[in-house]
Every structure is written in structure tokens, then in C-alpha cells.
Structure 1
Amino acid sequence: MSKIDIILVSYNTAEYTKRAIASVYEETKKTSFRIIMVDNDSKDNSVELIASEFPEVEIIQTGANLGFAGGVNVGTKASNSEYILLLNPDTVILEGAIDKLFEYALSTPKAGVWGGITLNNDLSLNPNNARARLSFKTLLFSALGLSKAFNKSCFFNHDNYGCWDRKSEREVDVVTGCFFLTPRHLWEDLQGLDETFFMYAEEADYCIRAIKKGYQPRVTPDAKIIHHGGVSETNLSGKMLKLLKGKAELINKHAKSWEKPIHKGLLQLHVLNKLLSLKLLSLFKKDKLETLKEWQTVYKQRNEWLKGYR
């Protein structure tokens, strides 16, 4: 039995998936692992390419797009390892990152969820490896644009731990699902990812539920990966609609009754302010017109995404 089963959900990302899997084999030398690729009914050559290039990878074809949570749960049902590692297809493992993350997990067992550092393709820091859970403070500062204006501040940008340079380990609320290690016993205790979340925020929900069980997710700077992000999404509005639905669903599930309308109001204010600022900016920069149209689409559908996935 392998120590880690790596669950990779693919959806029309053939070349990225190939690169991700190749990096796992090249960079993981100390930890026994198995890769399970769950294909969510890709229309490209994902299944054929991976089966040809990596015959040792177990491939499960769902026959439908189950979303990230649904695909991951299918994969974990076929696994039997001590630990489960969620890995996005648009990632590249660097410098033994899986070995280092596993060593860190063994040294900090009370965390329950472990993650590393994410980098852009040019190896510059991508600070989206971890974040704080949604709260009045994070939603307010985001809605007012303060988290962006003071992005290096841990007060105004607490959502993204703005003052943390990612050079030290620390406790976090949420480990991003692109590189997310958890023990099987906790996974089974929490019954995996909540499939209500089709895509985005499912890992936040898992981490929040783990914290309620007495665990505290952690991140190590020693385990680094490249994460491209959003390669299966073809347009901005499509991605934003899913992100906002996920956030609204987190509010539905974890906010107190009296907090829900306030938090959702701030979520809507964030989109409105983004739209208004783009309208102003597009008067001087015509290249912003397409982005403006995308955000107009998002705002027009606010009554839909504010419901979450319910």
C-alpha cells in the first residue's frame, strides 16, 4: 500500500496534466505513491495521452463533468493509502515538494491539512496557496478595495495574509486545493469533500470542518510547486460566477443566520465596486472594455450566484 494516493482531476487539460504527472515522477524519490487520474469527461485527448505516456497511472473516467469535489471523491473511493494528496493538473512539482510536504505532515500531525508554496510559471510568488476563512472583516475590506490597495497588510488583507512573505511556516485557515495533503482517517471522518460545491471553496469547507474537529491546517515554505490556475476555464465571467457561488455557499453553510445577509451584501458590493471602477477605467483605457463586459455579465447574474449552489 502506498503512503500517498495522489488524486488528480482532469478536464480538457491534456498537456498540463502530462506535465504535472511527469513532474511528480521526476521529483518524488522518498515517498511511495500512486497517481489516480479522474477524468471529468474531457473532450480533448486527456485520457488517451496519459494512458499512453504513463501506463502506471490509474485512470477513472466519470462519463460526466462532476466538478472538482465530485471528481476527487470518486478518486478517493478507489484509493487506500494512509494519506490523500489533491493535486491540480495545472501544477508542476519542484525540488521534491511532495517528499518535503509529507515529511512536514509527519512532524506536525495535529494540523490535519498541509500545503506548500505556489509559484507562477516564472517562479515569482503566487500568494494564493492559503487564505483566511470568510468573515465580516475580510469581506468588508475586499468590497471596499482596501485588501487590494494595501495588499501587503495583514490587517487590510487578512484574507490573503498580506504581510506573510511565504518564507516561514504558519497556521492558516484554508489550504488551497491545488496542493492539499490530508490523512485518510480525517478524510473519512469528514466524509470527503462536500459535493454541493461544484468547483471552488470545497477545500475551504473541508478545512473549516477540520478546524471544528480540533485540527489546524499548516503550510511549509519548503514544499514548492508551480500553479498556473484556472486553465480549464475559458472566460473570466465563467470563473468568477463559480468563485462567487462557492463563496456564497460557504456563507450558507458556515455563517450564523444573522451574518448571512450582511456577508452576502458585502459580496455583492465587491462585484459592484469592481464594475464601477472598470467603467471609469475603460474611459481612458479601451483595452479594459472586454473585462468590463465580463464583470457586467457577473453582476447581472447576481441573484443566481448569491444563492450559492442551493
Structure 2
Amino acid sequence: MPAVETHPTPLLLNEAAQATVDLSVIIVNWNAAAYLPAALDSLLAAQGDLAMEIVLVDNASSDDSLALVRERYPQVQIIANEVNRGFAAGNNQGIRQARGRYILLLNPDTELPPHALMDMLAFMGAHLQVGVAGPRLQGAKGKVQGGAAGYDPSLATMFNFATFLYRLFPHRFKGLWLPRSLYESDDPIPVDWVSGACMLLRRSALDAAGPMNERYFMYSEDVELCRRIREAGYGVICLPAIHVTHHIGGSSRQLGPEFYAHNIDSLDLDLRTRYNAAQVALMHTIAAFGYLLRMLFYQVHYWRHRQPIFLELRDLWAACLKTSLVRAVKPARVVRPLAGGKE
């Protein structure tokens, strides 16, 4: 059982209880102590006049994450798991405790600009049929991250992603990811999903759709949740005018490039709920071609520039390529909670 360091909160909240909190922020953490201070400092700096609560769900970290938060951020509510339950299950724990009218799922390796919370909430308040909103995610140097938002995995979107059509003709072909060129405008963009690294949820939309699907240990749970929210009648919007820094992989990259292949396993779980085995095999094969192109691209970049980051990116896409070819013939298994936070 997780240790909960806060006053008990009923799972079913009445309207009066919810009205006292504008925003509940859920942070699922695993060994991200190096990033947590910047994330929490930026979050508190962006709070303004909001009635906000922060719930940190720790998935059996072996670093000093919990000690750091207890000492420096006593206002943060902590749920300490004895095993690594994964991203979806951890968020669900926080959501059950949350009292806010809005819920922000936030990675521990993000940094918010001062206006981010107010701007996102203002947008949601003015657009009552929007159930989910997410910002532009970018690296420390401002480069847009591809996986911040996008469209449902399908034969068309996977083909357009693999062949780069979504980037060459962004207004005609939809890919898995929103192309970087579309972030150049500040206009809100209707999408199928936004990343769970920074996802603002309207509570009524979440109540209508239900919690995150815990079959997904990590990755694709945000895509699947946004799909159910859209099926419940709400819109999903990317807000490119709001820039949030994401030090991508602050937790997952600790296990090396092979852990990124888990993205493919989660994609496989999602595809097999909607397509037959032959269709899934075809989509994985098409995706593998795209991963091969990206792997070769970064190998050439490394030969030319000799920068270690290109080796890391090459290995990332190589792991995705290998796993995608395996998943074309062999379904992924559901990952169970990991003892001690290790795979």
C-alpha cells in the first residue's frame, strides 16, 4: 500500500469541496530529483492567485526525491509507492486525491513560464467544450518537441509519419505528431491528443471519460485517454502560444535507449484494441521503415559532427526499429508494477 502524507480526502467530492481548489497538479515522479526543484519552483511562481494543490506520486524512487520535497516543499502532498506502478496508475492515484476543478498532469522534468497556468485556465474557461489542452513542449534551447501533440495512430497517420509527408505537407497530411511548422502560429490547434507531460484536464471531461487506462505502464496512455474524452463530446486542443520546457526523458532515459522501445510496446497495445493482427503488422512494418530512416539520419549526423547526442538519438530510433519489427508478429505484454522502481 502507498504511504499518503496528507490529510484524508474523500474520493467522491461534493461541489463545495471542488470549488475551494481551482487547480490540482499531479506529478508522477521516478528518480527525478535533479529536475524536481526547477519544476516545483516554476510551478509555484506561476500560481498567481490560484487556489492550487500539488500532489506528488513517487514510484519507489531510489534517489533523494522524497527527502528533497519533504524538506523544501512542505506544501506538496506526497503519495509514496513501494513499487513503480507506472505513469497511468500513478496519475490515477493523484487524480483520486485531487480536489480541483481542473487537473494538470505534469512531468517532474518540466519548467513552466510565469503565465502558463493562468493562460491555459483562461482558455479553458472561455471554451467550455474543450476537455483537454496542452502547450507547446520545447527543449531547453527552445526547439519544439515532436511528441507534444498529434493525431490518433492509424494506417494513414503512421504512413505520413514514416515518410515525412506530415512535415513536407503539414496542412494536407496528418501524422502521429503535430509537425513543428504548425507551432509557428499562436492559434489554438484542434488535435486528437496532447502529451501527458503537461496535460490540463477539465474535471467534468475526465469524469465523463474515466481515469487513465492502467494497462499502459508508460506511453500511449495519454493518447487513449484523449480519445475517450473526444468520444465523450469534448475537444482536445494544443496551445502553441504557451511554451513549456520539457527536459524529455528525465526519468525514462536513465535506463538507456532500450526503454524508449517501450513506447512501441504501448503503441502495440493500443493498436490491437482497434485493428486486427494483419492491420497491426502492416502498421508496425510501415513505422519500422520510418524509424530506419531516422536512425540512418542521426548516424550520418554523428559521422559529420561527432556529437554524442546524435549517437543517443540513433540508438533511440534503433531500439524503436527493433521493437516495431518484433511487434509486427508478436503482441506486447502488459507491464506489471516494478519492484524497487526497476524494470
TM interval, short-chain normalised: 0.7 to 0.9
State how many pairs are aligned: 308
Alignment partner of 2:79 out of 43, 50, 60: 60
Give the aligned CA root-mean-square deviation in angstroms: 2.8
1:175 aligns with 2:194: yes
Tell me the distance in 2 between the aligned counterparts of 1:256 and 1:147: 25
| Unmatched segments (≥5 aa) in structure 2 | 1-19, 335-343
Give the CA deviation at 1:289.
6.7
Relative to the length of structure 1, the TM-score reads 0.87
Alignment partner of 1:2 out of 3, 7, 21: 21
Q: Which residue of 2 aligns with 1:251?
A: 271
SS of 1:22 mapped into structure 2: helix
Tell me the distance in 2 between the aligned counterparts of 1:3 and 1:205: 26
Q: Which residue of 1 aligns with 2:260?
A: 240
Deviations 1:209-252 (A, max 9, x none): 11111111112344331111111122553243111112212211
Amino acid at match of 2:221: E
Deviations 1:48-103 (A, max 9, x none): 00110000100110111111111101111122222211011111110220111111
Alignment partner of 1:94 out of 104, 107, 113: 113
Deviations 1:186-221 (A, max 9, x none): 223322110111111111101111111111111234
> Does the aligned pair in 1 maintain the 2:261–2:316 contact within 8 Å?
no
Tell me the distance in 1 between the aligned counterparts of 2:116 and 2:217: 28
Give the CA deviation at 1:123.
3.1
Q: 1:9 to 1:279 in 2, by over 3 A?
A: closer
Amino acid at match of 1:70: A
Q: Which residue of 2 aligns with 1:303?
A: 326
SS of 1:43 mapped into structure 2: coil
Q: Which residue of 1 aligns with 2:286?
A: 266
Amino acid at match of 2:200: L
Tell me the distance in 2 between the aligned counterparts of 1:283 and 1:98: 42
Alignment partner of 1:209 out of 218, 228, 252: 228
Q: Which residue of 2 aligns with 1:161?
A: 178
Amino acid at match of 1:160: W
| Unmatched segments (≥5 aa) in structure 1 | none
Q: Which residue of 1 aligns with 2:5?
A: none
Q: Which residue of 1 aligns with 2:6?
A: none
Give matches, 1:100-115, under 5 Å.
100-115=119-134
Give the CA deviation at 1:298.
4.8
Tell me the distance in 1 between the aligned counterparts of 2:162 and 2:321: 14
Q: 1:195 to 1:283 in 2, by over 3 A?
A: same
Q: Percent identity?
A: 23
Alignment partner of 1:133 out of 133, 152, 162: 152
